[in-house]
Amino acid sequence: MMRNDMESILFTEEQLREKVAELGAAITRDYKDKNPLIVSVLKGSYIFMADLTRQIDTPCNIDFMVVSSYGNGTKTTGEVQIIKDLATSIDGRDVIIVEDILDSGVTLSYLMKVLKARGANSIALCTLLSKPERHKVHVDIDYLGFEIPDAFVVGYGLDYAEKYRNLPYIGILKPSVYGE
């Protein structure tokens, strides 16, 4: 039923599984003996983060934030809000932010500055997807899954109006579904 709303499948379950394993291996290598704090930016990254942390073979802690600059729309408002903050102190910690998609960069740039100001030893970004055409602010990506075209994607945690998160693949949503 939801498959009918897709223009096409961008990444299959298998492609996602392989990429997540590759990213987990890279983080394991780079953070051996460091016990990083993995911070999931909810809601979109929850599936990616769960799969990713199972692929990291070194001790790590996890925490969650809800940060938004989109509201219920498909384009950033430019105003970033922290809706749910971390429960863990990051002072002196190596932090890895796990995000579903780097779109404009506005939200992640803001978030990285806030966390650095809180005394993090280091901050790295692991994003499953990046849309280079949409970047308004430069953000360094330490671990990147895939670069994608400027299309509205859903699935594997990504949503439109809180729907489609539960799809096991990432698809391009038909513009007729979101009114463009």
For position 134, what pLDDT does the model report?
Answer: 85
Checking 65-73 for CB contacts under 8 A at 24+ apart, the result is 65/39, 65/40, 65/41, 65/111, 66/41, 66/42, 67/41, 67/107, 67/110, 67/111, 68/107, 69/104, 69/106, 69/107, 69/110, 72/161
Number of structural domains in the chain: 1
Higher pLDDT, 129 or 104: 129
Residue 69 is predicted with a pLDDT of 65
Give the residue-averaged pLDDT of 108-131: 94
Determine, yes or no, domain membership for 2.
Answer: no
Strand 81-84 to 61-68 pairing: antiparallel
The pTM for the full model equals 0.91
Q: What percent of the chain has pLDDT over 90?
A: 72
| 91 falls within a domain | yes
Give the model confidence (pLDDT) of 123-151 as tens digits: 999 999 999 998 889 999 999 999 999 99
Residue range 15-41: average pLDDT?
Answer: 97
CATH number of 65's domain: 3.40.50.2020
3 confidence band (pLDDT: 50, 70, 90):
confident
Active site residues: 103
Mean pLDDT of 155-159: 95
pLDDT at 80: 77
Residue 46: inside a domain: yes
Whether 61 is covered by a domain: the verdict is yes
| Structural domain boundaries enclosing 116 | 14-151
> Is 117 inside any structural domain?
yes
% of residues, the chain, pLDDT over 70 = 94
Q: Is 161 inside a domain boundary?
A: no
How would you class 175 by CB atoms within 10 Å of its CB: exposed for 0-12, middle for 13-18, buried for 19 or more?
exposed
pLDDT number for residue 2: 79
In a domain, 156, yes or no: no
- Assign 76 a pLDDT band (cuts: 50, 70, 90): low
Given a cut of 90, whether residue 19 has pLDDT beyond it is yes
Q: Is residue 177 part of a domain?
A: no
